[in-house]
Amino acid sequence: MTPAFRLMGIVNVTPDSFSDGGRFMRARAAIEHGRALVGEGAQIVDVGGESTRPGAEPVAVDEELRRVAPVVEGLASADWGPARPQISIDTSKAPVARAALEAGATLVNDVTALRGDGRMAELVAQSGADCCLMHMLGEPRTMQQSPRYDDVVDEVKSFLLARMEFAVHEGIEEDRLLLDPGIGFGKTVDHNLALLARLDELVALGRPLVVGTSRKGFLGRIGGDATGPRRLAGTVATNVLALERGASVFRVHEVAPVREALAVAAATLGGKWTSSPPATRTQTS
């Protein structure tokens, strides 16, 4: 049976990401972590060298390249066998994306939706890579400073439609685009919940919808774990809800438990299931 969803495992090669900053700064550790995520069921490995947490400061191009290039190269050149994942580069800088694509990445995950670097759209179009366009209000340093919308779902939908039309106009094939409403990127708790409740309105745009709620702060505010780094139960709950509403790509830190929950939810919703082998766990350094 064709999977109803894809899991995007997160590999943060940063010292300041909100939940795992500094854990995978060494290329070897990051590569091993990526391999472990694939062993747990990730079909996409998303490598990022610049934190986009609220208040994060920008990272210079050279530094971002130093962090991500060996990791992308190591993952892309690994002997995966039939479980080969898609390698994604999480960046808004064209030079970083170019280096990652040359090293073997085939997806550009741009939190600015091609607004951060005027060269990015042409690069993606010429490379033939897939591209994820995300909604963010402002920039990481300012996005959580009293975000306001008249109707957050309508405004996010209009933004994503406009950025999708821009991308196609710039030569990126529509069937290579993914859309991300940007949960937690310039949104209050109520905004995030409204987006989750009405995801079907965004799915109507016709492209795979990416949901990234993993360990986000709003889960802690609702569940009472305001400072805890995991927030796994909330992550699982929001991803299952998002699947029911039509999302199909789930960006997560912990792949195995989310994969299991989504497999059960998909079987329940679809009325079909197939026996899956147990996820393998690879020890990371």
Catalytic residues: 216, 251
Identify the three-state secondary structure at position 47.
strand
Rounded to 5°, the CA angle 34-264-260 comes to 25
Q: What is the DSSP letter of 54?
A: T
Q: Residue 130: phi, psi to the nearest 5?
A: -75, 160
Q: Residue 91: phi, psi to the nearest 5?
A: -155, 155
End-to-end CA distance of the chain: 35
Compute the distance between CA of residue 58 and CA of residue 139 in angstroms, rounded to an integer: 10
Q: How many CB atoms lie within 10 A of CB 243?
A: 21
Q: How many CB atoms lie within 10 A of CB 34?
A: 27
Dump strand ranges (E) for the chain.
6-12, 44-48, 86-90, 107-110, 130-134, 177-180, 210-211, 249-252
Buried b (16+ CB within 10 A) or exposed e, 58-75: ebebeebbebbbbbbbbb
